[in-house]
A = this chain, B = another copy of it.
Amino acid sequence: MKTTNVSDHFHEECGVFGIYGHPEAANLAYLGLYALQHRGQESAGICSTDGERLHCRKDMGLVAEIFTESVLSELRGANAIGHTRYSTAGQSARLNAQPFLVECSKGQIAVAHNGNLTNAIDIRRDLEMSGSIFQANSDTEVIVHLIARSQEDNLEHALRESLLRMEGAYSLAVLSKEGLIVARDPYGFRPMAFGQIEHNGHTAYVFASETCAFDLIGATYIDDVQPGEMITITDSGELHRKRFAPVQDRHHCVFEHVYFARPDSVVFGRSVQKSRELLGRLLAREAPVEADIVVPLPDSGVDAAIGYAAESGLPYRMGLIRNHYVGRTFIEPKQSIRDFGVKLKLNPVRGVIEGKRVILVDDSLVRGTTSQKIVRIVRQAGAKEVHLRISCPPTISPCYYGVDTPDKNELIAANHSIDRIRDHTEADSLAYLSLEGLKQAVQDVQGEYCYACYTGQYPTDLVGIEQLLADSREKK
């Protein structure tokens, strides 16, 4: 159940939500977080304000479990931010739940954050040296300290000063009694969409990591929060959009389109579903194979498999069924069941697979262990051949911008040739989409995406971070 990796401490994926000027701010934040639940299932929280003080509730668990009617009724006020978090297990999980609410020189402020600061360890070390205390181990606490330490006398200026010290990836929402501020790093690593809800002749502003959160609450998508942009809504309800940093090359995380975002979202201005289908189509063109059916790994491989099938002219079939009634842990029988872990989630459909040459389409192949088990159970269900097709290039480098990835030495493609990987997975053939194919699928004509996990070329300076991470691993 446990994975040991660099992201044990500072890197994780999250969903962020913000709303300003709606009488049911907390209720809508709750629904928004429910739509963003796929971005983090370990903890969730909402912080609201009625202009008098901030009200906060966060806990371990799913959004639908944490927020009961009585909990929501205490989150008073027309403005709110929310957060869902994927986190590593352990004692600190509860402390790292967000939004992070403190009282400081800028009054009460709450921060919800998605991303990973590449210089967080440095800043934290400096802050500790000058007397700051840390209760958790998230980047968010670092951000709040910077704001609190700022000599600027208002929150907006203090935040801007803080952002300018931060390197790496962040999309964040800051709530105070006076208003709401949303900001996104100059490279635009992580998404953050901006929308509106009309109600009784008023306009409420909403922000969310993905547009699927807008759909549920009836909000209209207006624009992305731009890279390097800060949007401030003051207590008079006025909205200001300002740049806080010079224009930079953009580096949108391509993995949002490959895997992470919901297919019904528009991310970085592009429909995720369109990207995924195209990934499959291009994969079919690049790596065709004679076969009888195309089978997705549900649910994440579905769209690419549909694309692959459409492009290849081969039938698309649901040859693997996913069990959705998943609990947190499972008790394994003592007398081991072969490929037990995979079987808990996936079961092959013999009627579909038997006697067929099967193309299995998946969106990633990280360590290779799971793929091997899936190939096996498909073959046991009677497949004559099993051809594995991955709708992105080989993953060879860890991410330092907010995606939880294993260490390089656990990434099979970083250490082995495609032939070796094929052998390991026991597939009859294996092919990945090319980097060019990936660029084309997300229509990255202007080079605005980050492909570091596929290329090892990081768009920002990471001097020191690898050494620091290595140190911290040793100390553990």
Q: How many residues of A contact B (CB 8 A)?
A: 90
Contact A132 B135 (CB under 8 A): no
Q: How many angstroms between the C-alpha atoms of A338 and B216 in the bound complex? A: 10
- CB proximity to B under 8 Å, residues A67-91: 67-69, 72, 74, 91
The digit string for A250-278, where 1 denotes a CB below 8 A from any CB of B, is 00000000000011101000011110010
Interface-centre pick from A34, A145, A344, A349 (highest chain B CB count, 10 A): A349
Q: Name the residue among A31, A299, A333 with the largest chain B CB count within 10 angstroms.
A: A333
Cα–Cα distance between A356 and B144 once the two chains are bound (Å): 48
CB A295 to nearest CB in B, in angstroms, measures 11
Within 8 A of B (CB), among A56-115: 56-57, 62-65, 67-69, 72, 74, 91, 101-105
Whether a CB of chain B sits under 8 angstroms from the CB of A24 is: yes
Contact for A55 among B56, B91, B347, B352, CB less than 8 A = B91
CB closest residue in chain B, given A200: B335
Interface centre among A57, A266, A323 (most CB of B within 10 A): A323
A302 within 8 A of partner (CB): yes
> Do the beta carbons of B27 and A67 come within 8 Å of each other?
no
Using a CB–CB distance below 8 Å, which chain A residues touch chain B?
A: 23-24, 27-28, 30-31, 34-35, 37-38, 41, 55-57, 62-65, 67-69, 72, 74, 91, 101-105, 128-135, 137, 144-145, 148-150, 199, 212, 215-218, 262-264, 266, 271-274, 277, 299, 302-303, 306, 309-310, 315-318, 321, 323-328, 330-331, 333-335, 337-338, 343-344, 347-352
List, sorted by A's number, 12 A–B pairs whose CB atoms are closer than 8 Å.
Answer: A28-B333, A34-B323, A34-B330, A37-B323, A103-B134, A212-B321, A215-B347, A264-B348, A266-B350, A272-B351, A273-B349, A273-B351
Other than A62-B327, A67-B331, A131-B150, give 20 A-B pairs with Cβ distance below 8 A: A31-B337, A37-B325, A55-B91, A57-B91, A63-B325, A64-B327, A69-B331, A102-B135, A103-B128, A104-B131, A104-B134, A131-B132, A131-B145, A215-B347, A216-B344, A262-B347, A264-B321, A266-B351, A271-B350, A299-B324
